[in-house]
A = this chain, B = another copy of it.
Amino acid sequence: MEELTSEKVKGYRISPAVIKRLPRYFRYLRELKEAGRMRISSGELSKMMNVTASQIRQDLNCFGGFGQQGYGYNVKYLYGKISEILGVDEGYRAIIIGAGHLGLALVGSPMFAKRGITLTALFDVAPSLVGTEFGSLHIYSTDRLADYIAQNRVDLAVLTLPRAYAKETAEKLAELGIAGILNFTNVELDLAHTNTAVQNVHIGDALMQLTYKMRAAQKPDDAEV
């Protein structure tokens, strides 16, 4: 996992810990904005998000966007500021490599569009898939990756291919100048020698947090030796 670096806003440096929490603020602020809310207090946001109001004030105060004491945060301003820092305004374009069930599930999800990202193509090695369409996307042969990237803007690639091909594909994407890789393969990719950012998605970690809670509820004192 790469370290997040800090960010300066209005002369304040935002710590990596705060940056890690920003995607969650982004989601809640987006919902508030869509619901037509103009302002929200740290107390109400605290209840919604189940974190302390003082944590929220600490996290968000460096962005500004809040009025006098008790008036709350300006939802639209804060959403805009966080969107900008998270790259939502950049109009990134993405491809998915691996048109198996996970790749196709991602095509069908609103996750990318909600974050300002346009999916432009799918890639796979299976002859039965290459040349077909899924949704509005064409499925290209993975052999055509370099050609496609030369001819089209591609900012990021999503890896949903079998883990045996993860490393070589990631190295190739880095060589081709792709700025980011969202890696679902559970192979820890090390592209520190390149300019390509990597984010690994570990769904299994969420599963473990769930089973931890289940076990703790069943056996609250069991671990006490």
- A residues contacting B by CB (< 8 A) are 1-5, 7-11, 19-20, 22-24, 26-27, 49-50, 84-88, 90, 92, 100-102, 104-105, 108-109, 111-112, 114-115, 117, 155-156, 179-182, 195, 197-218, 221, 223-225
Contacts and interface: CB of A to CB of B under 8 A. Distances in A.
B22 A156 contact: no
B211 A180 contact: yes
Given A197-B217, A202-B23, A214-B92, A207 B102 contact: no
Given A199-B206, A206-B199, A217 B179 contact: yes
- Each complex incorporates copies of this chain amounting to 2
Contacts of A198: 210
Given A50-B1, A90-B215, A213-B197, A115 B224 contact: no
Contact of A101 (B8, B101, B155, B156): B101
